[in-house]
């Protein structure tokens, strides 16, 4: 039995949940290590030695430390995914990379930021980030009309990277009501063998 991969995370971090989700989909033994963000554990010397940016998630794969949620997804997919979650074919890989960029861009500064306001009290402009979320969801709604998953006919790390903050968008007062294709896509992810949800917060439209 391989040694468990340590995942340093917080249960309400969508970035950490991405990694937890892929580890579970890959059926990899995992040890969840709680990082108490409220008490500033991520800014202590011990954690900064793992990630100088002081952010979760971090994984320790038997001595190999990888930081940044999307970088971790690439690492896990390449090392353990048998090509299923991240293709080596140039165009297929580019399609996945496009959505990893969206996860780090439009998602982070749209639905993820909106949720940071309600769940963590972040000082973003609510109207601005909610509008950004809807602009993103309109594009996704159109693209998911002709494809069951973001980067093609099968699930990839593109879907894993984008799933969590979109599924939890109502917590940040972003309604998914107008986007049936997006909601159907979320349900397809949730039906995958090994799917694990992120803890929900009864706040915003989800209250």
pLDDT in tens, 8-65: 999 999 999 999 999 999 999 999 999 998 888 898 999 999 999 999 999 999 999 9
**Considering the domain 5-80, what is its CATH architecture?**
3-Layer(aba) Sandwich (3.40)
As a whole number of angstroms, the distance between CA 130 and CA 97 comes to 24
> In degrees to the nearest 10, what's the CA dihedral of 99, 100, 101, 104?
120
In this prediction, residue 121 has a pLDDT band, given cuts at 50, 70 and 90, of confident
Per-residue pLDDT tens over the stretch 75-93: 999 999 999 999 999 999 9
Show the tokens assigned to 102. 């969206």
User: Quick one: fold of 90-206?
Assistant: Glutathione S-transferase Yfyf (Class Pi); Chain A, domain 2 (1.20.1050)
* Six-digit token string for 194: 């090994």
- Of 121-125, 126-130, 155-159, which gets the smallest average pLDDT? 121-125
Q: What angle (nearest 5°) sits at the alpha carbon of residue 12, between those of residues 28 and 8?
A: 45
Q: Is the peptide bond before 168 cis (omega within 30 degrees of 0)?
A: no
Domain residue extents for the chain: 5-80, 90-206
Is the fold of 5-80 the same as that of 90-206?
A: no
- Per this entry, what is the length of the chain? 207
Strands 30-34 and 64-67: unpaired
pTM for the structure as a whole? 0.95
* Structure tokens belonging to residue 142: 């159109």
How confident is the model at residue 72, as a pLDDT? 98
Q: How far apart are CA 86 and CA 77, in angstroms?
A: 6
């Amino acid at each position: 039995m391989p040694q468990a991969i340590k995942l340093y995370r917080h249960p309400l971090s969508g970035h950490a949940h991405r990694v937890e989700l892929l580890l579970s989909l890959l059926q990899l033994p995992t040890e969840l290590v709680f990082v108490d963000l409220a008490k500033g554990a991520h800014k202590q010397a011990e954690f900064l030695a793992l990630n100088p940016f002081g952010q979760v998630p971090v994984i320790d794969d038997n001595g190999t430390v990888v930081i940044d949620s999307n970088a971790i997804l690439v690492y896990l997919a390449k090392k353990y995914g048998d090509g299923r979650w991240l293709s080596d074919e140039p165009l297929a890989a580019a399609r996945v990379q496009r959505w990893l960029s969206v996860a780090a861009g439009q998602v982070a500064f749209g639905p993820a930021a909106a949720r940071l306001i309600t769940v963590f009290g972040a000082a973003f402009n609510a109207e601005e980030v909610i509008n950004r979320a809807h602009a993103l969801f309109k594009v996704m709604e159109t693209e998911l009309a002709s494809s069951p998953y973001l980067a093609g006919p099968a699930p990839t790390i593109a879907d894993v990277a984008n799933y969590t903050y979109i599924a939890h968008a109502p917590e940040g007062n972003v309604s998914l009501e107008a986007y049936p294709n997006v909601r159907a896509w979320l349900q397809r992810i949730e039906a995958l063998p090994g799917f694990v949800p992120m803890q929900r917060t009864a706040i915003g439209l989800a209250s």
